[in-house]
């Protein structure tokens, strides 16, 4: 008859060895579970970070696109191309005969055209050389605060104005010439914002 396990040292040793093996397996399983859990948490955190970064970049793209579109919609912009009639958003046209970089700055010479059924007198043309929005995006993003969109005109390179001599009749053009200081020729393209000031409009019957 086998002795009770309480009085059998070999049985106790075997039992302890089994318990020890079970504990080792349990410890190993616990380590594996922890590794899997931590790995899963790390993957989840990385995915969330990537998605958050992607969403933030998309929002910045949308904000920049909206600001640039608004600027282009509200500003009379022309390119420094010679021999091309360019129509401004206010309905008038500009034609550059001379676009030349000099020691004094950018020389612009050409004609302003009036396709409207109104005549214009005492007209002053204001020129502002601007970079394209995409060239100042990094600076724009640093300058913006919350939902405020900095006006891209804040980044102008140079500005000047000149008066137009005579009355700009309907269907006619008048010459202008201006040098915009501080503008040097670079590899970056530029655009020219043109605005009017001091003008008086008259009707075809001669009334003002």
Q: Span 179-183, mean pLDDT?
A: 95
When mean pLDDT is compared across 15-24, 126-135, 176-185, 189-198, the lowest value belongs to 15-24
Which residue's entry shows tokens 């420094």? 80
Instruction: Report the largest interatomic distance among the alpha carbons of the chain, rounded to a whole angstrom.
Output: 135
Q: How far apart are the first and last CA of the chain?
A: 131
Taking all residues of the chain, what is their mean pLDDT, rounded to a whole number? Answer: 82
HSE on the CB side for 65, CA within 13 Å?
6
pTM above 0.85, yes or no: no
Write the CA distances from 44 to 55, 56, 76, integer angstroms. Answer: 16, 18, 49
Other CB atoms within 10 A of residue 104 CB:
11
Name the band, by pLDDT with cuts 50, 70 and 90, for residue 129. Answer: very high
pLDDT value for 147: 46
Q: Among candidates 188, 120, 131, which has minimal Cα distance to 156?
A: 131
| Percent of the chain with pLDDT strictly greater than 90 | 48
pLDDT value for 152: 77
């Amino acid at each position: 008859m086998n002795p009770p396990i309480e009085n059998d040292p070999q049985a106790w040793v075997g039992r302890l060895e089994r318990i020890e093996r079970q504990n080792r397996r349990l410890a190993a399983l616990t380590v594996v579970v922890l590794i899997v859990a931590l790995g899963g948490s790390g993957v989840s955190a990385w995915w969330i970070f990537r998605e958050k970064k992607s969403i933030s970049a998309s929002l910045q793209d949308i904000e920049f696109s909206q600001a640039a579109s608004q600027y282009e919609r509200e500003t009379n912009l022309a390119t420094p191309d010679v021999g091309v009639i360019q129509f401004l958003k206010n309905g008038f046209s500009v034609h550059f005969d001379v676009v030349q970089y000099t020691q004094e700055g950018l020389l612009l010479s050409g004609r302003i055209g009036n396709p409207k059924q109104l005549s214009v007198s005492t007209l002053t043309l204001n020129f502002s050389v601007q970079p394209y929005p995409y060239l100042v995006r990094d600076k724009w993003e640093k300058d913006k605060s919350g939902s405020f969109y900095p006006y891209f005109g804040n980044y102008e390179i140079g500005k000047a104005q000149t008066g137009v001599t005579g009355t700009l009749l309907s269907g006619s053009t008048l010459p202008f010439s201006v040098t915009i200081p501080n503008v040097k020729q670079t590899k970056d393209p530029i655009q020219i914002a043109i605005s009017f000031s001091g003008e008086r409009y008259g009707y075809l019957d001669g009334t003002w």
